[in-house]
Every structure is written in C-alpha cells, then in structure tokens.
Amino acid sequence: MKILITGNLGYVGPGVVGEFRKYYPDASLIGYDIGYFSQYVTNRNIIPDAGLTMQYYGDVRSFPDEILEGVDTVIGLAAISNDPIGNRYESPTLDINFKAIVDLALKAKNKGAKKFVFASSCSVYGSAEDKPRTEDSALNPLTAYAKSKINAEIGLRPLADKNFQITCLRFATACGMSDRLRLDLVLNDFVAGAIINKEINILSDGTPWRPLIHVLDMARAMRWAHERNGSTGGDFVVVNAGSNAWNYQVKELANMVQEIMPEVKVSINKDAEPDKRSYRVNFDLFEKLAPNHQPKYDLKASVYGLIHGLKAMEFKDSNYRNSNLMRLNVIQNLVKAGTIDQSLFLNQPQ
C-alpha cells in the first residue's frame, strides 16, 4: 500500500504520519511539502518525519505526476492554513487550497489512485451560533481561507466515482501538542500564555463558539477516511470531523485552562471588534459513519499534553505571538528574506 500525504511538514502532518505508520507498518508513506515550517520542530530529541518512506520537497501548484505512480490514497493537507495568512495572501491561498487540491485529485485519479482525503474546515459555517450546523446547513464562509475550502469541496465532487472515493473532512479547530507546534490556534495560545505569562489574553470578547478537535484525533479521522468503503458514505462524502461535546465558547476554553492553573489571570478584550467567526457544529454524521474512529482526547488531556510538551521544549518566549510558532510570522519572514515571493512561490537560490 502506498499513501501520499501532502503538507506533511506542518502541525497536523506528523500525527498523520505516526497514525498511518502505526496501523500500516509495511505501507509506503510518501510526504510532499514545500517546507515553509519544516525547521520548527518542537523537540530536539526527536526525528519527527522518521516514519516516512520518502520525503519530496516541492510546491503543490506544480505537482509532478510521477510521484503518484502506484499511490492508493492521497491525503491532502497542504494549505495556507489560517485566516490571517489567507487575508494577507488571498490569491495564493485560493491557488494552493482550492485549485492545487482539485488538480492533485484529478492527477491522482488519472494515475489510478483509489481514495482522496481532503482536510476541509468547519470555518465554512462562518457565523452560525444559533444552532449547531450539519453538513446540509447553509454555508457562510467569511474569509479567503474558508472560501478556498468550500471551493475545493465543490471542485472535488465531480471527480468522485466508484473507483475514486473522496472524503472531505470538515475539521474543527485543532489543538494539542505536535512535533511541529503552532501557537496561532486558540487553545494552544491560551496554554502558552498561561505557562509563560501567567495570563490568558482573549483577543475577542470571549463569546465566539469554536468546536475543537485534538490534532491526533484528526489523524484518526483521516485513517477512517482511508479505510472506509463505499457503503459508508458513498463515493463522495463531506463530514464534520469532531465531537458534539467539543463545542466551546472561547471564554470556556480559557476558564478550563485557568481551572488547571489557578494562578493564571484571564483577561477579556472588552473593546475587541466582535469576532463574526463563531459557529457551533453538529458531528452526528461523523459519529454514525465512523463509530470506531471517534475522537478520544478530552479537553483536559489536551491542555495537560500542551503543558507537558511546552515544558519539554523549554518554552520561554513571553512574546510568542511574534514568534515563529505563528504561521503568519514565518511566512512574512520568508517573504521579507526573499526566500519566497508575494505569491508564496520559492525563489530560486542565486
């Protein structure tokens, strides 16, 4: 079995490689990534990508067909992965997250791959706090990032057939420790602030709703998507990936961290512009389709995992919101250094 994972050198990727290596010890696992964040490994004593059979470096916007030779399943993680980058670099976000994903799926299908797993996002629901949204609910993508994910789902749909099964997993916001940690995710940010500054600084008024999922539970969901057969979900399925118990208001997340570290102060930005991105999500379909691959982590375990992981990496940066653990900062530094251009293409070394 041969599985290709694009965008594997980010936050979610190491857990996906670990999950597939554990369950498929003999599989050929191929990584493909441009490497924007590859050097930001959180623990010096590990080799995070050792589970791979082969790593390719390149841009998904010019994906070489030959890498797809013999590939059974493609897992499409490569993306501009949040709103701040998407807002600043809108056109490359659409090219990478939407056009390149659909092109990759078409190439994979033509090469005989059987399955395609796409990392979509619950952010497509945008402003939806009145009741939990199901896959059939109206969409309200508020940002370039959310629009790119919807466009990708729409573009992928016609490619699915009985020989090429597509699963779009609309993931909740990720949290938890990873070999390539990001701190621009709400719970991760709160735990980092609590540890280093004894303060959780909520950037909104605390009321927005965010469903969360542990990063390793995302990997489990992707394994389900790889393993499912057509009788579970059909040739093409879009499914919210997370759990009903994990719909939280941002201030509840802060309170939970404070419960574990009572010395921590929680400050709410009362003057913040209302964050329109607020959504509650219904995960019934995922529970029905994937009863054996449901999220296992709870919020407390995720917080403890982050505390342990941040301590192990000797995390000391009180100004971490300006650090390389924030995806936008890395991208902007790479642009400033001339390593990548404004379209986020690699500049050739002189």
Residues that bind ligand NAD (CB under 6 A): 7, 9-13, 33-37, 59-61, 77-81, 96, 119, 121, 171, 173-174, 182, 185, 327
Label residue 84 exposed, middle or buried (CB < 10 Å: 0-12, 13-18, 19+).
middle
Least distance from ligand NAD to the Cβ atom of residue 295, Å? 13
Smaller CB distance to ligand NAD: residue 58 or 230? 58
Smaller CB distance to ligand NAD: residue 148 or 165? 148
DSSP string spanning 3-63?
EEEETTTSSSHHHHHHHHHHH-TTSEEEEEE--TTTT--S-TT--TTTT-SEEEE--GGG-
Smaller CB distance to ligand NAD: residue 4 or 77? 77
List the structure tokens of 180.
């390539």
Cα-to-chain-centroid distance, residue 313: 22
Least distance from ligand NAD to the Cβ atom of residue 13, Å? 6
Please name the residues in contact with 28: beta carbons below 8 A apart, sequence gap of 6 or more.
1, 2, 3, 53, 54, 70
Least distance from ligand NAD to the Cβ atom of residue 162, Å? 26
Contact assessment for residue 76 and residue 116, using Cβ atoms and an 8 Å cutoff: yes
- Work out the angle at residue 100's Cα, subtended by the Cα atoms of residues 189 and 171, and round it to the nearest 5 degrees: 35
Contact assessment for residue 202 and residue 254, using Cβ atoms and an 8 Å cutoff: yes
List the structure tokens of 82.
């949040």
Helix (H, G, I), strand (E, B) or coil at 136: coil
Smaller CB distance to ligand NAD: residue 99 or 230? 99
Least distance from ligand NAD to the Cβ atom of residue 265, Å? 26
Label residue 263 exposed, middle or buried (CB < 10 Å: 0-12, 13-18, 19+).
exposed
Quick one: angle between helices 215-227 and 13-23, nearest 10?
50
Least distance from ligand NAD to the Cβ atom of residue 95, Å? 8
Smaller CB distance to ligand NAD: residue 198 or 277? 277
Least distance from ligand NAD to the Cβ atom of residue 346, Å? 9
Least distance from ligand NAD to the Cβ atom of residue 184, Å? 9
Smaller CB distance to ligand NAD: residue 176 or 206? 176
**Residue number of the CB atom closest to ligand NAD:** 10
Smaller CB distance to ligand NAD: residue 13 or 295? 13
Least distance from ligand NAD to the Cβ atom of residue 93, Å? 9
Least distance from ligand NAD to the Cβ atom of residue 92, Å? 8
Smaller CB distance to ligand NAD: residue 79 or 144? 79
Characterise 344 by phi-psi region: left (phi > 0), alpha (psi -120 to 50), beta (else). left
Smaller CB distance to ligand NAD: residue 12 or 191? 12
What is the rounded distance in angstroms from the CA atom of residue 231 to the CA atom of residue 233?
6
Please name the amino acid found at residue 6.
T
